Structure 1
Amino acid sequence: MSDILYKWPTGARFGARVPKEKFYEYGWVSSAVREKFVSDVQRITWTHKLAEETINLTGTTAVPEIEIFEIDSKADDVADAVLTAIDKAVPNPIIFEISRERTGRREVRMVAAHKTRGARTPMVNGYYSTRWMPADAERSALPTAISLPALYAELLAPLTPIDVRPGEEVSDVAERLEVVRRLQREVAGLERKIRSEPQLNRKMELRRMLKMKQAELEEQK
């Protein structure tokens, strides 16, 4: 988890308010998720469009442009289920900025998932986020990139627990993140078993398995 916010280009400003109700039209938005929209979301603004005509980087079928959505929360945060509903409704990749009022000051965090286009709806993996930061914190310039897919990978890199490898496509990063999440679950499960296992021989075998999984995990990072 990093401490970074990006300074979005002025020329890419879009500034369109998006009604929450617009997302209720989609069949995958359950009544429970609608309730989350109502309880969590004050306002949704489509603030920027990073595209060839706005930042002069070439897009592809997978990443034709990158959208920046700002969500003002009613309470402490916005549920991932809300972000998923928005992500599935918008085909292009989205970087979210969620803001909240906390002890008299405005805070913001950047959050996104590796997202790939599917046959009908986009495929959205788990979400990664920065820490909460003051809304007036200094922002960083966009990473240097030669295309929109490369920029998308670079924007997400500080959020994820893996390093983007040279020439790696967004879909490759998403697949590797899935492997990392699976290995992290397996490592956590083995650690729990080791703590509760009374037999020494079995505990030693579990530790051997744990070291193997930890080594696999490091290779993926």
Structure 2
Amino acid sequence: MTDLLYQWPTAAHFGKRIPKEKFYEHATVSAALREKFVSEVARVTWEYKLAEATINLPDSDEVPEIQVFRVEAKGIDVSEPVLAAIDKAIPTPIIFEVTREAVDGKQVRMVAAHKQLGAGAPKISQYLTTGWQPADTERQLLPTAITLSALYAALLEPLTDVDIRPGEGMSEVADRLKNVGKLEREIKTLERKLRTEKQFNRKIELRRILKTKQAQLEQQR
């Protein structure tokens, strides 16, 4: 994961505030989740629209356009269930910039989940995020890409703990990230068991399994 912010193209600026109630209409939002919206979110703004008409990159069925949403937090952060509710209400990929007021000034973090479009509701992977950064952090130019699909993959790559392989799409990367998370949890469990195991033979077996899982983790990354 790399801490960065992108310099979004001026031509793609949209700047439309979206009332929180709009997300209640388009997603199944429980009373508890509505309370999270009220307590966590000050404002949602559709800041940029990356599309063929605004940045001159051809689209596809997989990625017809990419939205950039700014979500201003009332407190220290905005939780993933709130971001997921927004994500599910919008039928295109979203890159979020979550902002908050800190003691030393405004901070921003970029967060996104890979969104797979198709028939029915979009499928959303785990959320990936940078750390909190000062709002005046120098922004980087968008990655070079020949299609919106390639741009989407390139935008998400710095948020991941894996390297995108040649010819690999974000759906495949999302699957690998899921496997990485599973293996990391298994490795932590094995390490915990190894610390408390008393039997010598069992320790040897646990170390063997641990090394196998660690090798599998390296392959997935």
TM superposition score normalised by structure 1: 0.97
Structure 2: distance between partners of 1:29 and 1:207: 45
Aligned to 1:129: 129
Contact 2:27/2:85, CA 8 A, preserved across alignment: no
> CA separation in 1, counterparts of 2:82 and 2:118?
19
Query: Partner of 1:216 in structure 2?
Result: 216
- Mark the runs of 5 or more structure 2 residues left unpaired by the alignment: none
| Residue 113 (structure 1) aligns with | 113
Instruction: Return the alpha-carbon distance in structure 1 between the equivalents of residues 54 and 67 of structure 2.
Output: 12
| Deviation of the 1:81 alpha carbon | 0.3
Kindly state the Cα deviation for residue 59 of structure 1 after the two structures are TM-superposed.
Answer: 1.1
- My pick for the range that moved more, 197-206 or 147-156, is 197-206
2:180 paired with 1:199: no
SS in 1 for 2:47: strand
Residues 7 and 142 of structure 1 are in contact (CA less than 8 Å); yes or no, is this contact kept in structure 2?
yes
Give the whole-Å Cα distance in 1 for the aligned partners of 2:118 and 2:84.
Answer: 14
Unaligned ranges ≥5, structure 1: none
User: For residue 170 of structure 1, what is the amino acid of its counterpart?
Assistant: M
SS, match of residue 39 in structure 1: helix
CA RMSD of aligned residues (A): 1.1
Matching residue of 2:45: 45
Q: How does 1:31-110 map to 2 (within 5 A)?
A: 31-110=31-110
Say how many residue pairs are matched: 221
Q: What's the % identity of the aligned pairs?
A: 60
Q: More deviation in 79-88 or 164-173?
A: 164-173
Where in structure 1 do 4 or more consecutive aligned residues deviate above 6 Å? none
**What is the SS of the residue equivalent to 1:166?**
coil
1:26-81, CA deviations, whole angstroms, 9 ceiling, x for partnerless residues? 45322121111111000000000001111111111011111000001000000000
Q: 76-85 or 109-118: which moved more? A: 109-118
TM-score (norm 2): 0.97
Deviation per CA, 1:72-130: give whole Å up to 9, x if none.
10000000000110111111110000000000411001001111114321111111111
**Contact 2:27/2:88, CA 8 A, preserved across alignment:** no
Structure 1 stretch displaced more, 176-185 or 67-76: 176-185
Letter in 1 for 2:4: I
Within-5 A mapping of 1:148-167 = 148-167=148-167
